[in-house]
A and B are shown apart, each in its own frame.
Chain A
Amino acid sequence: MTVTDRSSAATAEADPPVVRSASRTRRKRREYLLFLLFIAPNAVLLAAFAYWPIVFNGILSLTSWDMVSPHIPFVGLANYRDMFSDPDFWWVILRTILFSGAVVIGCVVAGLAVAILLNQKLRGRNVVRTVAFAPHILSGVAMGTVWLFIFDPQIGLMKMVLGKIGADGPAWMTDSNWALAGLIIVYLWKTIGFVAVVYVAGLQGMPTDLYEAAKLDGAGAWTLFRKITFPLLSPVTFFVVVVTIVATFQAFDVIAIMTDGGPGDATTTISWYIYKEAFQALDAGHAGAGALVMFVILIAITAAQARFMERKVHYR
């Protein structure tokens, strides 16, 4: 199109259009250059600290490097064979799924319930919304410390509260049967308010006419929820589930301050396993392999959910 423009213009006026088009290509080239210049800082950072690490993990996972010596022994797929034939590693995976699953389900159920409550015309709901969101933005290490105190089997708040209803309460973080449950409670506490606020945003975008029509047909509150609210919220649920899974798989600061992955291995989830292999055992091979496994699991979960979305999700 520009070519014909130019040629037709050229017949009318011999000289200036050529100059103009030359200056235009020069301007285009300058814009390309500017584009590259503007994205360069981000591109370099993302390449070096997000994409290269994936490849780097892959390389390291084929070695048995101790992260110190200049000699880096190549061992092929031995680390993966090790890991997958080690029941402890499967327990790490299983534990991560259990932990993540409990937090995700708890967050969706309780978060949605709180959101429906916060969506009612109630006085003070904005204050409650703000306070409920606060745990989400407070340092995990600092709040983990408080929870450690709350769970203290001698002087903790939990013991006092449970004592009031006649229950004894476990030793929580030092009892390998209860430590993971304690972590689940802390993560639920940190995340439910966030999830509720996300759901409130979703609820506020609901079409009211659908409800009116269903009510005229005599639908009860539960039917309204099951047939209209929940299906219409499925994109929000999708977001919540993905974000919570990624966050729980990466859970670290609360675990570091509360349990160190223990007692025994009771709270060693995949991210703690990777950290331990890399920075305590100085085993770059297993850490790299573990990191790649985690990456693949998260990509697979997200992809599966994205496909599920395409088929099942109701868009507005």
Chain B
Amino acid sequence: MKTLGAGLKYLGLIVVLVLAAVPIYWLLSTSVTSPEKIFQFQWFPDGLNWQNYVDGWKSAPFGAMYKNSIIVTLAGALIQICVAILSAYAFAFLDFPGKRIVFLVFLGAMMVPGTVVLMPNFLTIAALGWVNSYAGIVIPGVGSVFAMFLLRQHMLTLSSEVTDAAKVDGANHLRILWHVVLPMSRPMVVTVIVVALVEKWNDFVWPLVSTSTDSMRTLPVGLLMIKDAQGFTNWGAVMASSVFIVVPVLIVFFIAQRQIIAGLTAGATKG
């Protein structure tokens, strides 16, 4: 009975593993299947055929799209973390009359869904002349509530003795932030940055809306453009194009999975 139970549990584990992994495996394996064999169903590709990657790369300006995705992702995550750290420090260590209300107003912004702000934000960046610019893609998304909240919660756990000691030594707030609080918050900062990187990289609807020229498209938007322009007929090339988007995140995920999982599920225990 007991071994039967354990056997069932391991069977369950395998089912979960297979269901989660098969589409990812299917993406990778189809991307290296030769074009003729794609129409014949097979579990394993017939060797590694890289032609799809050549075709995929040529089907759209992937070089430019990679450059755009990298710039937008790095700039977005970096600015966001700076903005978040500054406000988190302010709410954790600085005093202001009505601080609680200001904090609640900040948190309230979390209730505003991306879809709701789509059109107004487009009109705003259009008025600023930011359509088809990096600023237009990046700036509307760098305000931060959740990252700020997580960082503040973490900073509140730092003992005030540390900051007081620094104050007695005559350090000002900028020095305390840079030399004391930030080094002590490193795990949380890393978590927030990694999560921001993944989110910005995958972001789709805003880059789609805020750009209209091929040269400003990011990778996910570019994939949609391929589909709209030529339909998906060459599945191998399409899968290779999708791999271009997925693989950087997969690599980051398997290196920093602890941070990503902690960051993305934090609200469950800390909110």
Q: Indicate, yes or no, whether A interacts with B.
A: yes
Determine the distance from Cα of A35 to Cα of B232 in the docked complex, in whole angstroms: 53
Q: When the two chains form their complex, are residues B112 and A295 in contact, meaning their CB atoms are under 8 A apart? A: yes
A interface bracket (residues with beta carbon within 8 Å of B):
35 or more
In the complex, whether B21 has a CB less than 8 A from a CB of chain A is yes
Say whether B204 contacts A140, CB under 8 Å: yes
Given A56-B123, A57-B119, A291-B119, A189-B13 contact (CB < 8 Å): no
Q: Most B CB atoms within 10 A — which of A146, A249, A287, A291?
A: A146
Query: Are the CB atoms of B268 and A50 closer together than 8 Å?
Result: no
Stretch at the interface among A40-48, A97-105, A176-184, A224-232: A40-48
Q: Closest approach, in angstroms, between the C-beta of A132 and any C-beta of chain B? A: 4
Whether B205 and A31, one on each chain, are in contact in the complex, defined by CB atoms closer than 8 angstroms, is no
CB pair A239 B20 closer than 8 Å: no
Give Cα distance in the complex from A211 to B166, angstroms.
48
Report the Cα distance A57→B117, complex, angstroms: 8
Residues of A within 8 A of B243 (CB): 142
> Does residue A128 face the partner (Cβ distance < 8 Å to B)?
yes
Contact A142 B223 (CB under 8 A): yes
Q: Which of the residues B20, B30, B208 comes within 8 Å of A189, measured between beta carbons?
A: B20
B83: chain A residues at CB < 8 Å are 41-42, 45
Known interface pairs A42-B143, A298-B113. Does A201 touch B268 (Cβ–Cβ under 8 Å)?
yes
B10 proximity list for chain A (CB < 8 A): 122
CB-defined contacts of B84 to chain A, threshold 8 Å? 42
Is chain B's binding surface mostly helix, strand, loop or mixed?
A: helix
A79 within 8 Å of B (CB atoms): no
**Contacts of B232 on A, CB cut-off 8 Å?**
145, 148-149
Please tell me if the beta carbons of A142 and B27 are within 8 angstroms of each other in the complex: yes
The answer to whether A46 and B20 touch (CB under 8 A), given A53-B116, A57-B116, A252-B115, is: no
B268/A202 in contact, CB under 8 A? yes
> Which residue, B39, B87, B120, has most C-beta atoms of chain A within 10 A?
B120
Chain A residues near B86 (CB-CB < 8 A):
38-39, 41-42
Cβ of B156 within 8 Å of any chain A Cβ, yes or no, is no
Contact A278 B118 (CB under 8 A): yes
- Complex CA distance for A274 and B90, rounded to whole angstroms: 37
In the assembled complex, which residues on chain B have CB atoms less than 8 Å from the CB atom of A274?
115-116, 118-119
- B48-87 interface mask toward A, CB cutoff 8 Å, 1 = contact, 0 = none? 0000000000000000000000000000000000111011
By a beta-carbon cutoff of 8 Å, the part of chain A in contact with chain B is 28, 31-32, 34-36, 38-39, 41-43, 45-46, 48-54, 56-57, 60, 67, 114, 117-118, 120, 122, 124-125, 127-128, 130-143, 145-150, 152, 154-155, 157, 160, 189, 193-194, 197-198, 201-202, 205, 236, 239-240, 243, 246, 249-250, 252-253, 256-257, 270-271, 274-275, 278-279, 284, 287-288, 291-292, 294-295, 298-299, 302
Sampled A-B contacts (16; CB under 8 Å): A39-B106, A48-B143, A52-B124, A122-B6, A130-B254, A132-B16, A138-B249, A138-B250, A141-B224, A143-B23, A145-B27, A145-B232, A145-B241, A205-B269, A250-B113, A284-B119
